[in-house]
Amino acid sequence: MRNAVEQSKQPSKEAVRQWLRKNLAERRPPPDPQQIRRELGWDLVKVNPADAKRR
């Protein structure tokens, strides 16, 4: 008996092209650094510059 990975079939070239067109059309510039820090939770960590120099 074959597993599910072996049974899945490869998408057609046209399906891949459509997916690429859709994703390229939806592209947006990356968020600003502050937004990235908020989403990663980095804004919750306060680093003392003196502590960072000691490491």
pLDDT at 14: 92
Total number of domains constituting the chain: 1
Is 42 inside any structural domain?
A: yes
Q: Would residue 38 count as lying in a domain?
A: yes
Write a three-state SS string for 1-55: CCCHHHHCCCCCHHHHHHHHHHHHHCCCCCCCHHHHHHHHCHHHCCCCHHHHHHC
- Per residue in 11-46, pLDDT (tens digit) is 889 998 998 888 887 787 877 888 888 888 877 766
Q: Find the domain containing 52 and state its range.
A: 31-55
Tell me, yes or no, whether 2 lies in a domain.
Answer: no
Residue 55 lies in a domain: yes
Say whether pLDDT at 9 is over 70.
yes
Cα dihedral sign, 37-40-45-50: negative
Under the banding of pLDDT at 50, 70 and 90, the label for residue 3 is low
Do the domain assignments include residue 16?
Answer: no
Flag whether 46 is in a domain: yes
Instruction: Please give the pLDDT value at position 41.
Output: 80
